[in-house]
């Protein structure tokens, strides 16, 4: 009998060790997702043809229901999209403002967080420019760009984690470079000492670009895709099936990445966006 119990225990340990980290414990999941702006309420059923927002919007809700992220940072969210998601995203709180007026106008770099699991302690929006505290255009950027910051406290343990969601400019190389330097400064200014940090978003640059070196050297952050023991090398920008560029990234500090995935599954539309969402399961 003892030998049988020992054999069963040994088999259980072997199976458990082989399971992915996310199956051993719930841990936490954060998703970064450029949803592709709708073109505005008047164009939501026309912009992007068959890939218009009206044909894709339920896929975004399906993503939330299937993946169950604890946090999700979305880029390019216009007011009509925000209203739809807010109505459907039950159990999530959200933080973010329109980039064009600091209220409702323009794209929103919104962060949703699980209200059952997290308490919001602090939040902020800054513009990626030489005057980050006011609505402004940065350097040679084609658009106003922002970063949304939240400081969350897990209700069960009291542990805190900071999350920043951003979208670097798609045209201006100086804007992208200066924005990364500003992000390093904002992390230092906004995040309390010793609190783990996650920075994610559509960076419009591959990870080999040297604009990201300050995140490693000054902010002491690591590329989550590179350090997660379970990971992939899938492209994130798909251009509705024409490209496979890796331009969406997560950077972490004092966080243990467990699994990184580019979410290319079927959520109810041929393409959920012209970007695939990226997912990071982590502990801290």
pLDDT for residue 54 is more than 70: yes
Closest CA to 279 of 257, 261, 266: 261
Q: How far is the C-alpha of 96 from the C-alpha of 109, rounded, in Å?
A: 6
The 10s digit of each residue's pLDDT in 213-271 is 999 999 999 999 999 999 999 999 999 998 789 999 999 999 999 999 999 999 999 99
CATH class of 24-283: alpha beta
Q: Which two tokens stand for residue 45?
A: 């059923």
Q: What is the 3-state secondary structure (H, E, C) of the chain?
A: CHHHHHHHHHHHHHHHHHCCHHHHCCCEEEEEEECCCCCCHHHCCCCCHHHCHHHHHHHHHHHHHHHCCCEEEEECECHHHHHHHHHHCCCEEEECCECCCCCCCCCECCEEEECCCEEEEEEEEEECCCCCCCCCCCCCCCCCCEEEEEEEEECCCCCEEEEEEEECCCCCHHHHHHHHHHHHHHHHHHCCCCCCEEEEEECCCCCCCHHHHHHHHCCCCEEHHHHCCECCCCCCECCCCCCCECCEEEEEECCEEEEEEECCCCCCCCCCCCECCEEEEEEC
Model confidence over 71-96: pLDDT tens digits? 999 999 999 999 999 999 999 999 99
Give 245's Cβ-side CA count (13 Å radius): 17
pTM more than 0.95? no
Q: Residue 207 CB: number of other CB atoms within 10 A?
A: 13
What is the mean pLDDT of the segment spanning 95-115? 98
Query: The tokens of 79 are what?
Result: 């007011």
Asked if residue 14 has pLDDT above 70, the reply is no
pLDDT classification of 20: cutoffs 50, 70, 90: very low
Per-residue pLDDT tens for 161-194?
A: 999 999 999 999 999 999 999 999 999 999 999 9
Q: Rounded distance, CA 145 to CA 14, Å?
A: 49
Name every residue whose Cβ is closer than 8 Å to that of residue 58 and which is 6 or more positions away in sequence.
Answer: 268, 269
Separation between Cα atoms, residue 142 and residue 160, nearest integer Å: 35
Residue 15: what are its φ and ψ, rounded to 5°?
-65, -45
Tokens of 176: 């992208």
* pLDDT computed for residue 9 by the predictor: 42
Q: What is the mean pLDDT of residues 56-78?
A: 98
Q: What is the pLDDT of residue 34?
A: 98
Q: 118-127 and 92-95: which strand pairing?
A: unpaired
Domain boundaries in the chain? 24-283
Determine the average pLDDT of the residues in 113-120. 98
pLDDT at residue number 209: 97
First to last CA, the chain: 41
Is 70 exceeded by the pLDDT of residue 23? Answer: no
Structure tokens at 169: 């400019």
Could you tell me which of 106, 178, 105, 111 has the C-alpha nearest to residue 148? 111
pLDDT, residue 26, reads: 66
Is pLDDT of 3 > 60? no
With 50 as the cut, is the pLDDT of residue 39 above it? yes
* Model confidence at 103: pLDDT above 70: yes
Residues 120-163: tens digit of each pLDDT = 999 999 999 999 999 999 999 999 999 999 999 999 999 999 99
Which residues partner with 283 through β-bridges? 256
pLDDT of residue 22: 39
């Amino acid at each position: 009998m003892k030998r049988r119990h020992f054999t069963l225990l040994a088999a259980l340990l072997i199976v458990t060790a082989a399971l992915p980290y996310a199956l051993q414990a719930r841990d936490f999941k954060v998703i970064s997702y450029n949803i592709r702006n709708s073109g505005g309420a008047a164009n939501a059923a026309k912009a992007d043809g068959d890939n218009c927002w009206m044909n894709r919007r339920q896929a975004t809700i399906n993503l939330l229901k299937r993946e169950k992220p604890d946090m999700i940072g979305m880029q390019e969210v216009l007011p009509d999209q925000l209203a739809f998601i807010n109505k459907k995203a039950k159990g999530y709180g959200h933080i973010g403002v329109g980039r064009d007026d600091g209220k409702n106008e323009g794209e929103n770099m919104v962060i949703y967080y699980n209200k059952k699991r997290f308490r919001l302690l602090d939040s902020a929006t800054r513009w990626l420019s030489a005057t980050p505290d006011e609505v402004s255009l940065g350097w040679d950027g084609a658009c106003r760009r922002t970063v949304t910051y939240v400081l969350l406290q897990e209700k069960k343990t009291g542990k805190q984690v900071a999350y920043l969601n951003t979208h670097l400019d798609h045209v201006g190389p100086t804007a992208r470079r200066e924005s990364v330097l500003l992000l390093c400064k904002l992390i230092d200014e906004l995040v309390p000492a010793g609190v783990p940090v996650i920075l994610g978003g559509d960076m419009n640059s591959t990870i080999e670009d040297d604009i990201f070196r300050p995140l490693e050297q000054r902010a002491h952050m690591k590329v989550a895709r590179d350090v997660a023991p379970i990971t992939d090398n899938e492209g994130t920008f798909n251009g509705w099936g024409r490209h496979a560029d890796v331009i969406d990234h997560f950077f972490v500090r004092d966080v243990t990445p467990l699994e990184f995935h580019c979410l290319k599954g079927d959520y109810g539309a041929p393409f959920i966006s012209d970007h695939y969402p990226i997912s990071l399961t982590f502990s801290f």
